[in-house]
Each structure stands twice: as structure tokens, then as C-alpha cells.
Structure 1
């Protein structure tokens, strides 16, 4: 908490200076009010035109247009600092320098998938092309319906490491889970294993400090914070929301589970914590190795570079396989919102059902329309949400989307025992995704995320069985009568205007 307060206090002088400067400037320009007003009107018009033409999410545009038309000068400054991708340019440049030149070779696998489903093969091929990561045969995957189940296996695999360990998470917090892992990481580092930890500064702002990171380095563990947040540097957008643990390039863990005790139900924070994850082995692990190493090379210090960097390997198609998997990361600095577009695509292909886990629900226009259209044409569309929220205002904003979805036939359920932090979707017993992507603006448009999509894998049935078991502990939401709740309808609409900020 002290870390948060110190950063807020550091910002206050800068805000006071800015306000004083604006007052002096307005006083000095008062005699030229007509000229200034004309110039501001022209600039506002050009700004509005720029936002309208720009390729971006519609609701996001509407929010900024309202701000600009209400407060032209302040709105323009806020847009340049918060709404425009210019603030992410330094991050983008670092990632460009760290990218591998090698092209993705997934044609053989895509041709195999085309034999079963040409339309889905096109989706997978497009995903490979845009992320520059391959779809590969899935050799073995373990599904975990709770963080409690995944944690012991993570410990076992860490203890078996002989070459390297990569740890990258949004939230790291002291407690049973992380402290027990650190004990193993320190021992492995002393044995000569290359141990590297990357965590997000904002995600861990109240749980992990520079002193903690320094202690890791003193133990021989390489540790860096992603996108440090200072008073005059850093941004609340473009956070590293990814979650992955890689051991020796043989095993990879991912899902919604961070490295904190509430994720393994060691203590109750918001009732029972429902989260999911998975463990990959085989050549599918290499995508996670490549994703971590790209970020490490982009954001670490020059004196802490990797001893060597892995490259994409030729894809081997074994005789025995459990379908296919493509693991990728989503970047807010790309022109396309990969996961948002993927979910729209999958919903358009759904025939029988499309079921989703998400802790938050704030959809852009395109994805909202995809949910509505799928339900209206008879697809069984379901969304499973928390019953006990972690952030009440965000939960209320999520509820503002319920009415339109429910009216279209989408079924929404809330998990009564506690909080759902799982992020997944499954479609027609053929495809599923599990990763870090929430169905909200931050995940879909403003953060770095990772996701794994499985095709014709046993993983789909395991996820589906868990979803059906979880539904038994849920309450189904019902639409309200707009005629009786006119104010709620108005308030919901107001909340949805500001949803892109949350």
C-alpha cells in the first residue's frame, strides 16, 4: 500500500503545476478570446475527423468524441496521453527490435486441418500469419479446474528443472504459493539453472516491490519489471497481463492463475476462487519459450541478456497426437485486436453452442453483435460470470451489458460460491481457447495477453465437463422489464459509454 501512496504523492506536484500553468495561460489569452475560440474549433474539428477516420473500436471512439466535444483542450491532451497508441511507441520499438526474422511454417498442419474443416483452417492460418507463431500437433495437455490442483504440479516441475526456468506473471504476491516457488528458484539458480522472472509493475503494485525484486537478484535470479509506472513515465495501458511458467522448454503452464494465494484458495478473498489452467508438454511448449524470450530481449537490461535465444523449429507431426494447438500473444500495439477478432470469427462459425468463462463483461460493438447474432440464429450461447465480484464498479458495468444479451437469447450465469477468474471459450466440441483474455476492453484492446487455442483435442471435453459442473453452482440471470426500470436502462447506457476506461 505504501508503494501506491508514494507514487500518488509523486504525481500531485506535477498536477498542481499543470493547473497553475493553465490558469496563467488563460488569463494571458483572454484579450484574444475570439481568435483562440476559432482556432480551438478548427483544431477540435480536425481531431474529431481524425478519430472518426481512425481504425478503432466504435464505443472507444464515441467516448473520446464526447470528451473532445465537451472539453476540447483537456480532451485533446487526454487523448494524446491515454487514448492514442503514441504513448506505446517506445514499447513497440523495443518489441520490433526483439522480433525474430524467421517466418512461421504451418502450411502442413493447416493443410491437414483443411481436410476436416476448410473454414476453421482459414481462421487458424490467419492467426498464424498475424501472430507469427505456428499451430502444432498437441502431444499432451493436462487441464486444471482449479489453481489448487495446478499448484502442486508446478512445484514438482520446478524441482526437476536442469537448464532454465521462465516465469512471467501479471500479479506476484508473497504467501504460500510464491514463497515456496522462490525457495525452489533460489536453489535452482545456485545449481546453475538459468532462472528469469518478469512481472508487471502495475499488476503487482501493491504486492511486490523493487526491494523484493532486488532480493531475487541477490539470490541469483534474473528479475525485471515490465513497463515501470512512474509519475512521468509509464502508462496504465499496455500492461503485461500474460501468465506463463516454462521449465527447460519441456513443460509450459498457463491460464488465468497468477502467483498469489487467493488463486489456490489458500485463503478466501472473494469467496471460493474459481480459476483454470493447463500444462503443455512436447513441441507445443516452444511457442511459450519464444513468447517469453521476445519480451525478455525487448525489456531487460543490456547487461542481463539471454545467453542464447531459441528459434522456431520445424514442425514434426507424430503418429499419435491429441489434435492441434496454437499458442499466441495479443498486443495492443498491433493494428488488429487478435483475440477480439478470433472470438467474433468463432461465434460466426458456431452451429450448436458457444460457451464462455470470463470474470468481466464489457464488449465492443463488433463482439457484442457477434454474441447477439449467434444466439438469434439458435446457437446455445452462454457466459459464466462471478457471483461475488472483486471490483464492484466493474461488476456493475458488466451488468450493464446483460439486458441486450439476455433479450437476444444469450444465457448468463453467476457463480454463487464466489469469484470466477477463468478465461476460456469452447465451440461445438471442436475448438476451445484458454488463456488470460477477459471479455473486456482492457484485455481485448489495451493489454498484452496470451491465449492457447486447441482443435480436436481431449482438452475441449475436459473444459466442457468442468463448465457443466460449475453451472450446477450458478444462478441464471433473467432480463428486467424496461418499462418498470427506465432509470436502470438509462444508467446502464451511461455506464457502457465509460466502459472503455475500465
Structure 2
């Protein structure tokens, strides 16, 4: 018997693989999910033995139904309930904001149906263009912190800029402030020496969903892609810029990095604080008693309407995707989108096509050179279909555009961590700020038009006649689009 097993172990393993694969195929079919995604899983499971099972294990689980972590303990605390009640709008307030939000009120109600996305009016919003501007402001606010500092980042490294930020955290912790740092274990890279320094200084820090070999796992995980900083419960940062030299255009950087971030002061900070606490309880495995010091009173200097929408396997619905979908489908004049990764699902493709065909000026800016071979070709496979609907596609040539922004009709805009792809909409933990303000929208619109000066438009006729080998690469990579 042992001799037989030894001589035929590959055949036995292959049979075992297909027994499990057939079971997985039946499970996928019975879930009645998107047909394209279903076929992608079937192809991978049937034609890629062993590897297909790994892909299914990493991507095939429906974590939105079986949540990775629960938000209930945080949301059920009395202080959080009080904050959410405080941010709730009555009918008179709804009528007040209806005048300047116009038809975008439907978007507000869509996000508001998720009780963790209240609309806040008392806010100041600063748009931070590129890493240098973001880090100058962030370091200043960190050094001026008086009570606590909360950071949650996909990427944080102890390189030049990262060390400056981490040193500021250590300094504040030694002064007696409560400093908490949550970082994604795949995206981040902290040396043991820096971790030791954080420990000795009193900075509490935990990785999000630790993995054994982070350098080998790449994107094949459910990762925390959020970039949140909350300082004293009064100031918050959110956007596309991680903490790494890559995001700062130092003289020795090989690629110019174009990115966008937000600095928020006001009521919207409270929503980001709540989102941080839900993550912190998960990574630290601590039940925190949250008190009033984390939610200080807000003095209203400006009235900029902001909603914070978090999305991921911990939420009941793909909040960010649904909000973007409605913003596009209700647009009347224009939709300008910047995204480094464009691998849209069917819903987003339809929304963009319908908007463009109805006369809305739809423009999308993507990088000419991507940092992912598969994503680049998968993106290219969608361009012809978009351009057929009169959507203008531009490719950024100055460097790498990493900003994740959308501006609609001079009244609505969003800046955050979510790309326009399957991973951001369905797999990763993301967070976006949705802003209803003419001034902010016009600034972002002008930045978009400035970026187009450093971009080339994709000509539909020339694109259609691109080499067949490129089309073959695109078709191959597109097969993986629901999974990457």
C-alpha cells in the first residue's frame, strides 16, 4: 500500500485536488454571484490545479456575509451612540441642505442609510497636492498634538519620511500622549529596531492580519488599504498618500509621484475616529472603553458638507462603490475621474457608459506606466469599450498618478483610498470622504485639468489598431480581473 502511494502520489494529489475543486465549483455556482466572477473561479479551479484552490481560498470567501471582524462593540458604546445621534439630521436640516445639494441629496440618503455615514456640515477641508504638502502639514499637526494620536495606514516604512513620522510619534508618546498605530502587515515594512523604539517610547502598534511571508503574499489577501490619521479628535487626514519615500518627490526618486490627500477639521473627524476604533479593537484584541476626550466639541468656522464612507468585508454593502455609481448616474454636466487602477466591474462600466451616452462629459485619467503588469493589461482591455461610449481616456505621462479622486458637476467630489477596481470595491478595507461643496469641487476640477496637460489622450482609432500581441495579453489579464 505504501509502495503504491509512493509511486502514484502525484495522481492521488491530482485526484484530491479535483475532488475539492469540484466541491468549490458547486459552492460558487450555488452562491449566484456575478456570472463573470463565477466563470473566472471555475476556469482557475479547473485549469490550474492546486494554484486554483489557493486563489479560491484567498479570494472566494464571502467575507461581507461572514465578517472578518465585528463593529458592534464599538458602535454599541454609549459615547458612540451619542455621537451618531448628535450627527443625525432632522427634516428641517434636510430641507436646509437640499437647496445647495440639489439632486445630490439622493446620494446623501444612500450613504446615510448606512448609519455609520452621517452627513456633517461643520467642516474645514484642505486639499493636499502631493506628498511634500501632506507631510509638512501632518508633521506640524503631530508635533502640536496635545491628547492623542491615531494612525491607520496600508503602507508605513521607516525610511526617510517614515522615520520622521515615527520619531514624532515616539516623542509624543514619551510626553504622555496616547499614541496608537495600526499598519497593514503586507503593505508595511518596519525594522525590528524601529519596533523596539516604538515599544520603549510607549507607542502602541499592531499589524493588521499578520502573515508569515508578507513579501511573497503581494495582493493575494484581504488587506487594510485605508490611510487615516486622527489627532486629538480635532484634525484628520484621509486620501491616497501612504507613509513612504515613494510618495515624496525627493531628488533621488526615480518616478514623479502625483497624489492627493485631505486634511479635515470638524465633525467629519468623528466618523474617521469611529472607523479607527473599529480597526483598533480588531488588531489589538482589546475592548476599549471610549470616552469624551476622543470626541471634543467642534467650533464651526466653515460649513462644508462631508460624509465619510468606509467599505470592506466589515460593512453590509459596498458603500463606496454604490456612492460612486449614484454620483455618476445622476451627473448632468461632467464626471472627471483619476484612478491609478482601472479594472471596473459591470455596474461601474454601465454607469459610465450611460452617463457619457446621455451627453455628460466623462473623462478618466490613468497612468501610462503602471506598477503592475497584470493590472496594466487588464485596464487596457476595458478602454475600447469605454471609448465606444464617447468616454475620453487620458494616460498620465509625467510619472505615476496615484490619486483617487472624482469630481461631478462643480458640487460633488470624493477623495480617498478606493481605486476603481474589484479589489477596492469588494475585497480591501477602504475609506473615502464624500464632499458636497462648490469651492472644493472646483479646486479638484482645476487639478484634474492641470494633470491632463501632462497626459496624452488615447485615440480610439489608433487604439483599435494596436498590435494583436497586446490584445492577447489584455485578454489573458482580463480573465483575472475579478480576482486582482
Class of the TM-score when normalised by the shorter of the 2 chains:
0.7 to 0.9
In structure 2, do the counterparts of structure 1 residues 270 and 307 end up closer, same or farther at CA, with 3 Å as the change threshold? farther
Tell me which residue corresponds to 1:221: 203
For residue 400 of structure 1, the aligned residue among 381, 389, 393 is 381
Distance 1:369 1:44 in 2: 30
Map of 1:456 onto structure 2: 437
Determine the C-alpha separation between the residues in 2 that align with 1:466 and 1:45. 46
The structural deviation recorded for 1:500 is 2.4
Deviation at residue 126 of structure 1 after TM alignment? 2.0
Q: TM-score, normalised by structure 2?
A: 0.86
Counterpart contact for 1:239–1:448, Cα < 8 Å? yes
User: Structure 2 residue aligned with 1:494, among 467, 476, 479?
Assistant: 476
Superposition deviation, residue 466 in structure 1? 1.2
Shift of 1:88: 9.1
Greater CA drift, 399-408 or 156-165: 399-408
Q: Which moved more, 1:64-73 or 1:187-196?
A: 64-73
Structure 2 residues without counterparts, runs of 5 or longer: none
Distance 1:187 1:47, change over 3 A: closer
Distance 1:419 1:484 in 2: 23
In structure 2, the partner of 1:79 is 56
Alignment of 1:5-84 (within 5 A): 24=9, 26-27=11-12, 43=23, 46-51=26-31, 53-54=32-33, 57-70=34-47, 75=52, 78-84=55-61
Indicate if the aligned counterparts of 1:423 and 1:435 stay in contact, CA closer than 8 A.
Answer: yes
Kept after mapping to 1: 8 A contact 2:233/2:270: yes
Out of 253, 261, 266, the position equivalent to 2:237 is 253
Aligned residues of 2:338 and 2:365 also touching (Cα < 8 A): yes
- Pairwise mapping of residues 183-262 of structure 1 onto structure 2 (< 5 A)? 183-204=167-188, 207-209=189-191, 212-230=194-212, 236-262=220-246
- The structure 1 residue matched to 2:156, chosen from 161, 166, 172, is 172
TM-score, normalised on structure 1?
Answer: 0.83
Classify 1:160/1:86 alpha carbon distance in 2 versus 1 (closer, same or farther; 3 Å). closer
- Equivalent in the alignment of 1:156: 140
Closer/same/farther in 2, CA of residues 357 and 309 from structure 1, 3 Å limit:
farther
Q: 2:375·2:477 contact (CA, 8 Å) conserved in 1? A: no
Alignment equivalent of 1:100, drawn from 71, 76, 98: 76
> Is the CA contact (8 Å cut-off) linking 2:422 and 2:482 kept in structure 1?
yes
Question: Which residue of 280, 283, 288 corresponds with 2:272?
Answer: 288
Distance 1:58 1:462 in 2: 40
Q: CA deviation at 1:337?
A: 1.4
**Counterpart residue number, 1:122:** 106
Shift of 1:75: 4.8
Task: Please provide the CA RMSD for this pair.
Answer: 3.4
CA 1:311–1:445 in structure 2 vs 1: closer, same or farther (change >3 Å)? Answer: farther
More moved, 70-79 vs 207-216: 70-79
Structure 1, unmatched stretches of 5+, are 1-19
Kindly indicate whether the alpha-carbon contact (under 8 Å) linking 1:98 and 1:295 is maintained by their aligned counterparts in 2: no
* CA deviation profile, 1:166-196 (whole Å, cap 9, x unmatched): 1111111122212112222222111111111
How far apart in 1 are the matches of 2:52 and 2:22? Answer: 14
Alignment coverage as a number of residue pairs: 468
Partner-residue secondary structure (3-state), 2:206 = strand
Residues 363 and 21 of structure 1: is their aligned pair in 2 closer, same or farther, counting only changes over 3 Å? farther
- Gap change, CA 1:236 and 1:42, over 3 Å in 2: closer
The residue number in structure 2 matching 1:273 is 257
Report what 2:405 is aligned to: 424
Post-superposition CA distance 1:328-356 (Å, at most 9, x none): 21113434211112111111001110001
